[in-house]
Amino acid sequence: MTTKRAAIFDIDGTLVDTNHLHVVTWWEAFRQAGLHVSMRAIHRAVGLSGGDLLDHLLGDGDDRDPVQDEQLTATHHALYGTYFERLPALDSAGDLLRALAGRGWAIVLATSASGAELAALRNAIDADDVILGATSADDVDDGKPAPDPVQRARELAGVPSERAVFVGDTVWDMKAAVRDGVTPVAVLSGGIPRADLEEAGAHAVYQEPAALLAHLDSSVFAGTE
């Protein structure tokens, strides 16, 4: 009898081409608040939840103004929200999910997005017919690189860590996968260097979802058992 397996996917930069939109909208939010934060630094922080991203970029000392943090987050959400109707899925993202589902993999999303943002991302992917469920920042106490989002996604699929693969595009994704004990697979479509992803634990690295789809038979997704 075939044992259930789970293919867990990050969304931003992995299935939908949004990382640089996040960079620009966070940069503008910082600019409006009178803060200078480089786009390079923001790009490397994308994939963290909003609060963790601010901690990473601004420091987590007691001198931080919580009101300013709330305003920064609200400004970013408002700016990024203007793109909700036109978020672009990466090539073959939906086809990849359908191909894996056809091979018996349970498809689960693990993301820091929630609410209307998550709905817009899922709409862009256009593969809800094969997506079992999604975990968002609202479902866990700690976001990536903590293992909580990946663990929660596995729980949705009902599989142990050795029966799951997590596909992401950031160092935070790889670290979360390693900490949960699932197999980490990376794509370069989020703009993070291959060496950084491999150092963080990536088992394999592909250029983009289309490349992973083209090489499924030689990947960790090969086989039916």
Question: The whole model's pTM is what?
Answer: 0.95
How many whole angstroms separate alpha carbon 137 and alpha carbon 120? 15
Q: Is 68 exposed, middle or buried (0-12, 13-18, 19+ CB in 10 A)?
A: middle
Q: What is the pLDDT of residue 2?
A: 47
SS (H, E, C) 180-194: HCCEEEEECCCCCCH
Q: What is the pLDDT of residue 120?
A: 97
Contact 172, 183 (CB under 8 A): no
Q: What is the pLDDT of residue 164?
A: 97
Q: What is the pLDDT of residue 223?
A: 64
Q: What is the pLDDT of residue 49?
A: 86
Per-residue pLDDT of the chain (225 residues; tens, 9 = 90+): 346 899 999 999 999 999 999 999 999 999 999 999 999 999 999 999 888 999 999 997 777 888 999 999 999 999 999 999 999 999 999 999 999 999 999 999 999 888 999 999 999 999 999 999 999 878 888 889 999 999 999 999 999 999 999 999 999 999 999 999 999 999 999 999 999 999 999 999 999 999 999 999 999 999 655
Domains and CATH numbers, the chain: 5-17+88-218 (3.40.50.1000), 19-82 (1.10.150)
Q: What is the pLDDT of residue 203?
A: 97
Q: What is the pLDDT of residue 60?
A: 79
Q: Which of 105, 164, 116, 134 is nearest to 15 (CA)?
A: 134
